[in-house]
Structure formats: C-alpha cells, structure tokens
Amino acid sequence: MKYIYNRFIKYIIPALLVWFIVSCQDDEMGTDNSALVAKISETENFVQGKEEGTGLGDYLFGSVTALKNKIEWAKMIQDRADNQHALDNAVLILDKGMEIVENSVIRAAYPMQIVGKSSIRCGSHDLYNPVDEFTVECRVKLNSFNSQIIVANIIGTDFQDSAGPGGWAIRSYSNGNGDKQIDYVLGLGGGGWYVDVLPDVLEINKWTHLAVTYNWTTKSAKVYKDGILLSNKSISHPINANSELSKLNIGGNEFWGDRRDIDGQVIDVRIWGRELSADEINERKDDFLSNAGQYSGLNAYWPLNLALGSEILDETGQHTAILSGVEWVDPN
C-alpha cells in the first residue's frame, strides 16, 4: 500500500498539476473566432448567384452545393470550437472550398487523349449498334500517328466473341502504304471482318469530319470525309451486335486494350439509328447540334466541347461517358 501511495505522489500528482496549469493558460488565452466569422461572410457572398448546370459559365454539379454545406459546418465550428486550431482549420477549409468552386466553372474546351493514359468509355447499349441501319459521325484531330501500332480506334464498339467479329469502328490505320489512312470495320459474325481501307484521309494537327453508314436493307457501307462520299461498298452479312461485349469507346477500345489508343482529340460524336443522306451529313458537319431532341433517329450525342468533368451525360439524356486521364484544352 505504501508503494502505491509513493507512486501516486511521484507520478500522478505532477501530471495533474501540469494539466491544471495548461488548462488555466488556455482559459486565460481564450479563442478568437473573428477570422472565421469574416471568412464565413466572405464565402456566403462568394456563392451568391453561382448556379450549377451543364452550360457554358455554369459550375459543375455538386461544387457549389458542397461549399454551401461547408459554410454550415463552419458556423457550427464557430459556435462550438473550444480551441484555436479548430477555428483556424475551418478558415482554411472554406478557402479551399472557394478555390474548388472557382476551378469548376464550365468553359469551352476539348478533351485531349494521351496514349496509354486516357480513355472515354460509354458502356454498352443496343442503341450503339442498330442491327438494321446506322450512321456514326465525329470530328478528329491527331497530334501524331501512334507508331507503336497498326490501328488506333478513333471511335468504335468492335469486339470478338464465339459468333465471330462484332460491332463497328473507325480507325487510324498505318502500314507500309503510309500513315494518313483510315479503315472502317464491321464485325459481321460468321461473315468475318468487313474492312474498308481508305488512303490520304487524315492529316496531323488538322480537324477532319468523318461519317460512316451501315444499311443491311441495301447491304451497303459508306464512308464520308468532310461531307464527301469516299466509299460505297457491299456487305455480305448483318452486323454482330452482342450488346454485352460491344462497348462504345472514343479514342481507344477497352476490349483490345490501350495498344489501340489515339494521340489527339475526338469531338462531336453522333450515333444515329438510321442512314443519313449525303446532304444531311454535309449540312451539319461543321457545327455542333443544338436541341438534340429535334433530330429524328439521334441515338446518342456527345459534343465534347465543354469541360464538364469526368462523367458526361449525352445530349439525348440516355448515356453517360466516363472520362479518365484526359486533359481539357482550349478549342483549337
């Protein structure tokens, strides 16, 4: 018992004295919340008039709401904090929140894709692979031809399953005949791959509008460059449209891996559930579509002309593109 008493005197009493002295010092020093009060007021003024949306000048969904939630949290800290560190930390969090909102403003920009680092994946859907007829359009500008591979997918849904090749793709194509080629491929199941190679289509650092069509009724497949018909050929079998394996990718293809990535930009992606006429393609090739609902047969449409973050709902409201590793660059 004497041993316990001695230990108590030796260790516990000094510790209690230190705690008492520090507590008294804290009470004497107090806390100053004036900086946080001022910061809350500044932040409330900052968020006024800022609207979330998907239009130019709007703020990304969730960014303004998150900052408003931080303001309410900071008010709670202001009322309840019993130490200066908590008050100072709340000021820093509000500053960071304003910075995030400022950087979330939607601006005009295009997604730049880098080989092995970037992807734009749109999932699988029957509307990407209409079995009777379709048209696919996009605009593409390459920084370079991917010299490590023979083909790089500009856009497509191509795959391979037990029934044979499936889906479709527009690809940058390189072989001994030069780098400016594209090929249009269709996976025709038991009919194998339909491949149409076209020379002198692409140029480095130059925008090109590409359009391809498929029509099983007329058994035809066509390719257009900048509204001009380059190819019109016959097909022997209908497309294999296995929707589980056939996933739409822009600038690459997840089925084949990153060895088919492009180095460049793809914008104005349109998928139609019908074959467009040459006049229809030529009329709208240079402009982004407005009011997507007015167009008959438009199954999916991503303008990709605004920095909308990593998940972008298409203009028909049916599909979401997941972007990873892209760099948003000024329109060029």
pLDDT digits (tens, 9 = 90+) for 274-290: 999 999 999 999 999 99
**Apex CA 257: angle with CA 251 and CA 259, to 5°?**
75
pTM, to two decimals: 0.82
Same topology for domains 31-103 and 110-329, yes or no? no
Give the list of residues 6+ apart from residue 274 with CB closer than 8 angstroms, or none: 130, 133, 134, 135, 296, 297
pLDDT digits (tens, 9 = 90+) for 121-140: 999 999 998 889 999 999 99
Domain ranges of the chain: 31-103, 110-329
Q: Is the pLDDT of residue 259 over 90?
A: no
Contact (CB, 8 A) for 266 and 256: no
Of 3.90.550, 1.20.1270, 3.40.50, 3.30.420, the CATH number of 31-103 is 1.20.1270
Of 2.60.40.2470, 3.40.50.2000, 2.60.120.200, 3.90.199.10, the CATH number of 110-329 is 2.60.120.200
Q: What is the rounded average pLDDT for all residues in the chain?
A: 88
